[in-house]
């Protein structure tokens, strides 16, 4: 089965709303083992929606639309698609009851326009919307254009546009219905790497891996990191896992120096590792300005492993709160190996945590010099096994690189903390 | 001119990445006065990209693609589109120099695959990518299909996929180029509001404002904030400013209780105000976990106004570092008006700053109770005029709302700090 998603709404074409619905549905389809090859977006315009539908029906077995089912004048999806498929609308009592019940629950009475939400194409399958007045619906029709695929019919599913309503009706009603129809399942795993470039990683991949069709292998570059996604399709989840495992193990082995986790982002991997080892961490941040603490505390349950963070932007904060020695600052400067280590030790002592991390650097745009250029960052780690520091050179010579340097420094610091936690 | 956006990338079709690029470009096109009627997404598949391009060229004058320009085998956009338009590729020395310079700045050497980033269609216009190795490009070609529109040529612009790179090259290179092609100039100003909902604001707008065509008025809802963008097109910049001014002034007047800035984000408005008044600020954060400090320090030059931040996630940190009294914690709890105020006073005293801000709350998913539900946040402010606190109820009853609560609390705290700074 080949699926296609059409987002309907002028707000999408103006960029006022990001099309998160398409990503949600695509993830759900992938989990169901249904291939999605195309997405489209059109405005609240019947002619262009009709044209998009014609294109979709010429190549896809399943078309899912979002938006345009509401009561206002702009909402034309149902009327346009029913007309295109030659199906007249009729009054649908259960949908009208649904509208009345939903409105009554909020102490409201229907406007005349709400009646449109109860007009349904004859023979359509109607799916109650658990979060809104506009029900979802599906029309199944004989194939209008001959295609290679075996299916002899096509289905158009129309979902409401508000993401919460769309997600609720999809999960409650559409997913079970599609699951019953689809063959097999898709399983994906993501290997996360730091310290190696996308092209460097690709050049070392086993020959033919990127061209293989099951599992498929894809490379993604993020800020400072690279991810390999392995996806397998099989009759059962276990069979799909078995297809992925040998390749995943081979890649983990080959790139173990760069791998930081499977399926977990960096901060979650760090918090999990600390929890498993019953360790705690504390942060002392200068150039990252609180980003490391913010990443750690974004993880639910991080309070078990993190209690203290200091943003010591000023030298006085480094000395007074963290106990960095004035002589260290005078002799080596605020951005130095020595200061990073004393910051890490200082916050470790202040907090009683098992691991202290100290980050100091020059994010720019001012403050750079020949010996200490913008992008120079020192990360200090203090743990039970002593102290260590790493120098990073994150400057890219860009006009606006302050946030990039701060972000990269945060990523590197979290990675060093993760390695320190694993080694403890 | 009629534009269309094609997102290229299997990760989009799998829903692993949300297509924020399309929304970004759509907003930029709208600001330039260019109509966008269609969006498409296809995977890293030459045949389907070719089909999508054919559809786009049959109806649009300007086609903008994102993704598929990198060095890996998956990256096929340039090759596929050049081939479709019948333009061979040739080695482009400036692009190769760009690759080498970007890599050298990071201490790296090119892989053989990087050479692909320097192959450009003959006659293509190349736009340097300020954030990555893969340059953007544009091919202009005679119209392949007769259309109603007057233009006799069509242009395909290819942009890199990583949002940061795409946005940088669009703003630095593509927008000025498109702007020069459209008549006159466009000036936009953004009014930023907090504390009022989008629909509440919309309902109170002067009648007809949203329908007017010059200037255009658009409403955008962000996380906890609403923005009104006013865009005017005129022969000169001054004429455009003159068209915007009366409406901007009327709106500023009408919604002055909610307006926090014109054209500046919250943290930049805060840092600017503090600088102008020669004031300093310090932060004590519990549930926001360092986000407030991170926002402030994202602003270049923030070290003039910010020197100390404390992330007091643990109660011991609140007491030992900030001097919150044990009795306060015992009697009122960590999430209370009293604790928020003592945190604010504590960090003010610790740092010697003019303004101290203390934030404590329950971000969830655990820790909520009937009297103190998830989403309850107290913000305390300590300044020269004494102390104040504000209660926020940020829970939305969602399954995954931790980061949303942290973000909303950060926004509110920055706004309260801005108001405190303006009042000092």
Please give chain B's pLDDT, 424 residues, in tens. 899 999 999 989 988 889 999 999 998 998 787 889 999 999 999 999 999 999 999 999 999 999 999 998 889 999 999 999 999 999 999 999 999 999 988 788 898 999 999 999 999 999 999 989 999 999 998 875 555 455 578 999 999 999 989 999 999 999 999 988 776 677 889 999 998 877 678 888 998 888 888 898 877 766 778 888 898 888 888 999 999 999 999 999 999 999 999 999 999 999 999 999 999 999 999 999 999 999 999 999 999 999 999 999 999 999 999 999 999 999 999 999 999 999 999 999 999 999 999 999 999 998 889 899 999 999 999 998 899 999 999 886 666 689 889 999 999 999 999 999 998 8
Instruction: Please name the residues between 292 and 351 in chain B that touch chain A, using a CB distance below 8 Å.
Output: 292-294, 296-298, 300-303, 306-314, 316-317, 320-321, 350-351
* Residues B329, B404 within the same domain: yes
Q: Which of B72, B98, B102, B357 to mutate to test the interface with A (most CBs of A within 10 A)?
A: B72
pTM for the whole structure = 0.78
- Is residue A387 located within the same domain as residue A271? yes
CATH number assigned to the domain comprising residue A354: 3.90.950.20
**CB burial class (10 A; 0-12, 13-18, 19+) of residue B295?**
buried
Residues of A in contact with B311 (CB under 8 A): 283, 290, 293, 297, 308-311
| List of E strands, A143-224 | 153-159, 185-194, 216-221
Q: Is the model's pLDDT at A244 over the cut of 80?
A: yes
The closest CB to that of B308, out of A41, A287, A311, belongs to A311
Looking at the structure, tell me whether residues B342 and B230 fall in a common domain.
no
Is residue A152 located within the same domain as residue A198? no
Please give the torsion angle defined by the CA atoms of residues A79, A85, A91 and A94, in that order, rounded to the nearest 10 degrees.
Answer: -100
Does A148 score more than 50 pLDDT?
Answer: no
Q: How far is A303 from chain B (nearest CA, A)?
A: 7
Please tell me the predicted confidence (pLDDT) of residue A417: 96
Residues B130 and B40 in one domain: yes
CATH code assigned at A134:
3.40.980.10
| Counted domains in chain A | 3
Residues on chain B touching A57 (C-beta within 8 angstroms): none
A54 confidence band (pLDDT: 50, 70, 90): very high
Residues 6+ apart with CB under 8 A from B203: none
Instruction: Provide, as residue numbers in chain A, all residues whose Cβ is less than 8 Å from the Cβ of B316.
Output: 307-308, 351
Residues B246 and B274 in one domain: no
Among B323, B410, B394, which residue's Cα sits nearest to residue B359? Answer: B410
Instruction: Judge if A176 and A200 occupy the same domain.
Output: no
Quickly state the pLDDT bin for A17 (edges 50, 70, 90).
Answer: confident
Q: How confident is the model at residue A367 (pLDDT cuts 50, 70, 90)?
A: confident
Looking at the structure, tell me whether residues B14 and B140 fall in a common domain.
yes
The rounded radius of gyration (Å) of the Cα atoms in chain A is 28
Q: Is A19 on the interface with B (CB under 8 A)?
A: yes
- A chain contacts of residue B13, beta-carbon cutoff 8 Å: 26, 36-39
- Residues A347 and A412 occupy one common structural domain: yes
Indicate if A34 and A156 belong to the same structural domain.
yes
Distance CA B360, CA B378 (A): 5
Alpha carbon distance A53, A61 (integer Å): 12
Q: Best of B102, B217, B313 to disrupt the A interface by mutation (most A CBs within 10 Å)?
A: B313
What average pLDDT does the segment A156-167 reach?
A: 92
Cross-chain residue pair B218–A314, CB shorter than 8 Å: no
ipTM: 0.78
Q: Do A403 and B306 touch (CB under 8 A)?
A: no
Of B241, B262, B283, the domain-final residue: B262
The tokens of B273 are what?
């105000």
pLDDT tops 50 at residue A116: yes
Give A200→chain B minimum CA distance, Å: 7
Q: Can you tell me which residue has the tokens 């109660």?
A: B315
Boundary (domain end) residue, out of B181, B210, B232: B181
Over 70: is that where the pLDDT of A149 sits?
no
pLDDT at residue B151, rounded to an integer: 59
Q: In the predicted model, what is the mean pLDDT of chain A?
A: 92
Name the residue range of residue B199's domain: 185-262
Answer yes or no: do B407 and B290 share one domain.
Answer: yes
Question: What values do phi and psi take at B23, rounded to 5?
Answer: -65, -40
pLDDT at B33: 78
Contact: B293, A308; criterion CB under 8 Å: no
Nearest to B378 by CA among B366, B401, B360: B360
Domain shared by A177 and A194, yes or no: no
Q: Predicted confidence band at A104 (pLDDT cuts at 50, 70, 90)?
A: confident
Distance from CA of A331 to the nearest CA of B (A): 21
Residue A396 CA: distances (Å) to CA of B106, B128, B162, B297: 7, 15, 16, 19
User: Which among B229, B246, B262 is the end of a domain?
Assistant: B262
Closest CA in chain B for residue A363: B300
């Amino acid at each position: 089965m080949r699926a296609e998603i059409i987002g309907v709404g002028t707000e999408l074409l103006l960029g006022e709303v990001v099309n998160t619905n398409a990503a949600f549905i695509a993830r759900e389809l992938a989990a169901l083992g249904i291939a999605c090859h195309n997405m489209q977006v059109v405005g609240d315009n019947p002619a262009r929606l009709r044209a998009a539908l014609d294109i979709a029906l010429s190549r896809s077995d399943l078309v899912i639309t979002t938006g345009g089912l509401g009561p206002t004048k702009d909402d034309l999806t149902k009327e346009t698609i029913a007309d295109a498929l030659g199906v007249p609308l009729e009054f649908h009592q259960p949908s009208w009851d649904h509208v009345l019940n939903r409105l009554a629950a909020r102490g409201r009475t229907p406007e005349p326009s709400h009646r449109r939400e109860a007009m349904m194409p004859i023979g359509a399958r109607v799916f109650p919307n658990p979060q809104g007045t506009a029900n979802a619906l599906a029309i199944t029709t004989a194939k209008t254009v001959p295609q290679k695929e075996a299916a002899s019919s096509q289905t158009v599913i129309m979902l409401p546009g508000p993401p919460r309503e769309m997600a609720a009706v999809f999960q409650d009603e559409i997913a079970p219905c599609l699951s019953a129809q689809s063959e097999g399942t898709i399983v994906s795993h993501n290997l996360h790497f730091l310290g190696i470039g996308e092209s460097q990683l690709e050049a070392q991949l086993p020959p033919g891996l990127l061209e293989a069709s099951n599992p498929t292998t894809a490379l993604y570059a993020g800020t400072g990191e690279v991810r390999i996604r392995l996806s397998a399709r099989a009759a059962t989840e276990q069979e799909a896992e078995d297809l992925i495992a040998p390749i995943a193990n081979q890649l983990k082995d080959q790139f173990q120096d760069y791998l930081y986790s499977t399926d977990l982002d960096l901060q979650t991997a760090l918090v999990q590792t600390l929890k498993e080892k019953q360790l705690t961490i504390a942060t002392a941040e200068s150039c990252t300005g609180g980003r490391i603490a913010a990443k750690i505390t974004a993880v639910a349950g991080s309070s078990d492993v993190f209690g203290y963070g200091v943003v010591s932007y000023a030298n006085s904060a480094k000395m007074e709160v963290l106990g960095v020695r004035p002589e260290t600052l005078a002799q080596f400067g605020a951005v130095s190996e020595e200061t990073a280590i004393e910051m890490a030790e200082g916050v470790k002592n202040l907090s009683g945590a098992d691991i202290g991390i100290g980050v100091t650097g020059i994010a720019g745009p001012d403050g750079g010099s020949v010996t200490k250029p913008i992008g120079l960052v020192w990360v200090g780690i203090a743990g039970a096994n002593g102290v260590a520091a790493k120098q990073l050179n994150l400057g890219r010579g860009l006009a606006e690189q302050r946030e990039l340097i701060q972000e990269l420094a945060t990523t590197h610091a979290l990675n060093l903390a993760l390695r320190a936690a694993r080694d403890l």
